[in-house]
């Protein structure tokens, strides 16, 4: 077994690998960029080496620096994690040439499966069913357009060297193909250094089911069952679960055998995932499912914890043992499924704004209590801590929340409860969106396909699950508690009565007004204190007795209208963040003395919604535009984002050039709103 390994990655996967290595008595070396100098993964390892600038291309993609760091620290092997260099043939070969063990498959296997087109040709030769499509080497746009026309729309354009939804577009009609192709090729070039694409028939009502495989150097190869990853946004996974709901044992065995055959075809070693698109004629008819090979990921997957949860195994330990030359710890007949597991990817993004990535510092980062890295009721894999900043340089994922239950229903309930205990303040996240998905009828009843989010959009987006009256009552309770606590701390000192903030008055009942702005609407809550200290609250349509108390585990208990509620309230400047078992809600507290009227938004300014690179403008000075028309394309967190006109108008001036880095809020162009010419 290795004595020391270098982890060529960052974030939660680097922390995850370090945890298993520590348990096995293996020393670890971290690498870090300028942006990650104080990151959690740096402190999780025994040593750390700085390898370059904040951008991935200046650090985590510089494999020559990573190899030099491994050699300088005496590491015997390199674990690539996932993303970055994990599926880079040159890196795997360079490790071998430098005398380092690459904890993954041989470079030849990565090369064979790394290009989607080539791997599909290999699978076709092996008899694995494929979705109709074009996987050829000729990348002439006219050839690709003709192939798409011949296949029939809708079609899916996919980066041949890609993954994670990058360089992928669904094209509904022929007239949109050229623009979608150009965007795919540009994104693929930026993400993978290769702009080759393939074109496939877009399968209707598809499920994304993948098989975890593992092979050693002794000729053994097994499959560790399947994961359903059908719930996706922008072709990126949102929720994953194992085993796949509705999977028959016969289909599981057929898909498992096909996955093992695929691995053996390229002499695979280590952990890998064979991904299939499964077509279904009906949600409740598993016998109607047909599977088609999609691709093989030659690395550990983000969603590997759900497989660990249902098998009780540590897949990173298996990776280390196989890479050191040991045989697989178990054979196929020894493997069993126990219970059900679900994973939710918590990301810094705004689902209600087309999942626009978010950046910022996490003023509050509260998570549910979690168990060990293997099987357990609740598990959290995270690479950040409270106070850490989410930067624009890397992926938007903050953490992974994994739950395990005896049944799928139990796991669903546990996931909802765990998400309710996840409180993040300081940047936008998808936590509440995930709760909406978990609670949706389609997900609860396992009516799964990759179109679930679009189908359930009315219930998933722009939803407020916490009644405003409850949010206001919890806020009032928190303010009263905070002021009482502050007063108690100085109770032995003289206090200026004119500086008091408790609304005390010498006659008549105490009356105090709390002003706020919720969703652009002004509201007021009126709190009165009657005889004997009883409280009464009038707000948001409620006029009732009011009482509150603090809870031993934190948070507030509120009695309003004869009902008991619990909530946690966090104040960030004037922003109030309320979390309850029902969901979360934000609004702005208004100080009457400090509040001034805010000028209406200047529709003549178009600003960047997030930090990133400006890729292109679709207009020039003097052009007239319509509301919603595409004006520019930005790249942030490895994804492209379209910037559209907020109103009709005329473009006056472009303030940046393609390729420029822009900060959040930077003015991209000026336009005269409403100025349209005939």
pLDDT digits (tens, 9 = 90+) for 514-563: 999 998 899 999 999 887 789 999 998 889 999 999 998 889 999 998 89
Cβ count within 10 A of residue 647: 15
Residue 135: what pLDDT? 84
Residue 591 has pLDDT above 90, yes or no: no
Is the model more confident about 338 or about 369? Answer: 338
What SS3 state is found at 217?
A: coil
Cβ count within 10 A of residue 367: 17
- At 170, list the tokens: 């669904």
pTM above 0.85, yes or no: no
The residue-averaged pLDDT of 270-275 equals 96
Residue 494 has pLDDT above 90, yes or no: no
Cβ count within 10 A of residue 260: 20
List the alpha helices (DSSP H) in 348-430.
Answer: 408-420
From 80-94, 178-192, 318-332, the region with the lowest mean pLDDT? 178-192
What SS3 state is found at 360?
A: strand
Pick the CATH number of 468-486+503-590 from 3.40.50.720, 3.40.50.2300, 3.30.2310.20, 3.30.700.30: 3.30.700.30
Separation CA 138–CA 10 (nearest Å): 37
Residue 602: what pLDDT? 47
Query: For the stretch 266-289, what's the b/e string if a residue is b when 16 or more beta carbons lie within 10 angstroms of its beta carbon?
Result: bebbbbbbbbbbbbbeebeebeeb
Phi and psi (nearest 5°) for 267? Answer: 55, 50
CATH topology of domain 132-201: Dna Ligase; domain 1 (3.30.1490)
| Enzyme catalytic residues | 299
Indicate where the chain has its CATH 3.30.1490.20 domain(s).
Answer: 132-201
Cβ count within 10 A of residue 372: 10
Separation CA 468–CA 387 (nearest Å): 28
Of how many residues is the chain composed? 678
How far apart, in Å, do the first and last CA atoms of the chain sit?
75
Q: Which whole-number Å values give the CA distances from 425 to 245, 365, 436, 571, 577, in the listed order?
A: 34, 7, 19, 9, 7
Residue 492 has pLDDT above 80, yes or no: no
Indicate where the chain has its CATH 3.40.50.20 domain(s).
Answer: 4-103
Beta bridge partners of 580: 583
Q: Which of 1, 7, 13, 636 is nearest to 381 (CA)?
A: 13
CATH code 3.30.470.20 for 206-460: yes
CATH topology of domain 4-103: Rossmann fold (3.40.50)
Residue 114 has pLDDT above 90, yes or no: no
Contact between 189 and 195 (Cβ < 8 Å): yes
Q: Which of 181, 203, 198, 193 is nearest to 123 (CA)?
A: 198
Q: Each residue of 131-164: pLDDT tens digit?
A: 888 988 899 999 999 999 999 999 999 998 877 6
What SS3 state is found at 222?
A: strand
Architecture of domain 605-673: Beta Barrel (2.40)
Q: Mean pLDDT score of the chain, rounded to an integer?
A: 89
Separation CA 441–CA 458 (nearest Å): 12
Contact between 385 and 353 (Cβ < 8 Å): no
Indicate where the chain has its CATH 3.30.470.20 domain(s).
Answer: 206-460
Indicate where the chain has its CATH 2.40.50.100 domain(s).
Answer: 605-673
Q: Each residue of 52-107: pLDDT tens digit?
A: 999 999 999 999 999 999 999 999 999 999 999 999 999 999 999 999 999 999 99
Indicate where the chain has its CATH 3.30.700.30 domain(s).
Answer: 468-486+503-590
Angle in degrees, CA 208, 109, 268, rounded to 5: 80
- At 224, list the tokens: 């560790």
Residue 595 has pLDDT above 50, yes or no: no
Q: Which whole-number Å values give the CA distances from 399 to 85, 324, 385, 395, 419, in the listed order?
A: 21, 29, 10, 11, 12
């Amino acid at each position: 077994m290795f004595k020391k390994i270098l982890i060529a990655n960052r974030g939660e996967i680097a922390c995850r690998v370090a945890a298993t290595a520590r348990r096995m008595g293996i020393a670890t070396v971290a690498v870090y960029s300028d942006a990650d100098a104080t990151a959690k993964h740096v402190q999780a390892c025994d040593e750390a080496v700085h390898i370059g600038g904040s951008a991935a291309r200046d650090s985590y993609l510089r494999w020559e620096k990573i190899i030099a760091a491994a050699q300088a620290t005496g590491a015997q092997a390199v674990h690539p994690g996932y993303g970055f260099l994990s599926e880079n043939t040159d890196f795997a070969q360079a490790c071998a040439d430098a005398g380092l063990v690459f904890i993954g498959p041989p470079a030849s296997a990565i090369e064979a499966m790394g290009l989607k087109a080539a791997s599909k040709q290999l699978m076709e030769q092996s008899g694995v069913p494929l979705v109709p499509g074009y996987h050829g080497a000729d990348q002439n746009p006219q050839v690709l357009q003709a192939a798409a026309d011949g296949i029939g729309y809708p079609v899916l354009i996919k980066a041949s060297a890609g993954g994670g939804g990058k360089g992928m577009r669904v094209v509904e009609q022929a007239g949109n193909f050229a623009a979608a192709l150009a965007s795919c090729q540009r994104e693929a070039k930026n993400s993978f250094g290769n702009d080759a694409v393939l074109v496939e028939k877009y399968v209707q009502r598809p499920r994304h089911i993948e098989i975890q495989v593992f092979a050693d150097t002794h000729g053994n190869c097994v499959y560790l069952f399947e994961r359903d990853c059908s719930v996706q946004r922008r072709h990126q996974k949102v929720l994953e679960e194992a085993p796949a709901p509705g999977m028959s044992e016969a289909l599981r065995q057929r898909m498992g055998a096909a996955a093992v055959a695929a691995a053996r075809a390229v002499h695979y070693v280590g952990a890998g995932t064979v991904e299939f698109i499964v077509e279904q004629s009906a949600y409740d008819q598993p016998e109607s499912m047909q599977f088609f090979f999609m691709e093989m990921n030659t690395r550990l997957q983000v969603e590997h914890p759900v497989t660990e949860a249902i098998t009780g195994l540590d897949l990173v330990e298996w990776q280390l043992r196989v890479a050191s030359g040991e045989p697989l710890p178990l054979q196929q007949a020894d493997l069993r499924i126990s219970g059900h597991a679900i994973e939710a990817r918590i990301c810094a993004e705004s689902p209600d704004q087309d999942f626009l990535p978010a950046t910022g510092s996490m003023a509050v980062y509260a998570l549910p209590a979690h168990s060990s890295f293997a099987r357990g009721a609740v598990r959290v894999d995270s690479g950040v801590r409270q106070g850490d900043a989410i930067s624009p340089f890397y992926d938007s994922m903050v953490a992974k929340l994994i739950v395990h239950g005896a049944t799928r229903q139990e796991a669903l309930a546990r996931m909802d409860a765990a998400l309710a205990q996840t409180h993040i303040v300081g940047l936008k996240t998808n936590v509440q969106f995930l709760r909406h998905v978990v609670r949706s009828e389609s997900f609860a009843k396992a009516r799964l396909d990759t179109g679930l989010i679009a189908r359930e959009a009315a219930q998933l987006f722009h939803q407020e699950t916490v009644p405003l009256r409850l949010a206001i009552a919890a806020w009032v309770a928190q303010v009263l508690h905070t002021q009482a606590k502050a007063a108690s701390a100085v109770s032995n000192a003289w206090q200026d009565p004119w500086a008091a903030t408790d609304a005390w008055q010498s006659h008549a009942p105490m009356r105090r007004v709390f002003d706020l702005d919720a969703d652009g609407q002004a509201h007021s809550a009126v709190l009165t204190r009657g005889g004997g200290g009883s409280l009464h609250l009038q707000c948001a349509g409620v006029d009732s007795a009011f009482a509150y108390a603090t809870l031993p585990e934190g948070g507030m208990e509120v009695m309003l209208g004869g009902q008991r509620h619990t909530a946690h309230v966090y104040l960030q400047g004037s922003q109030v963040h309320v979390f309850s078992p029902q969901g979360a809600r934000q609004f702005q507290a208004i100080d009457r003395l400090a509040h001034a009227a805010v000028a209406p938004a200047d529709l003549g300014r178009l600003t960047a919604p997030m930090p990133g690179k400006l890729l292109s403008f679709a207009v020039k000075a003097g052009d007239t535009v319509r509301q919603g028309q595409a004006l520019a394309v930005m790249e942030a967190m490895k994804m492209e984002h379209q910037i559209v006109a907020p109103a009709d108008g005329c473009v006056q001036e472009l303030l940046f050039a393609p390729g420029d880095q822009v900060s959040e809020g930077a003015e991209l162009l000026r336009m005269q709103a409403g100025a349209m010419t005939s």
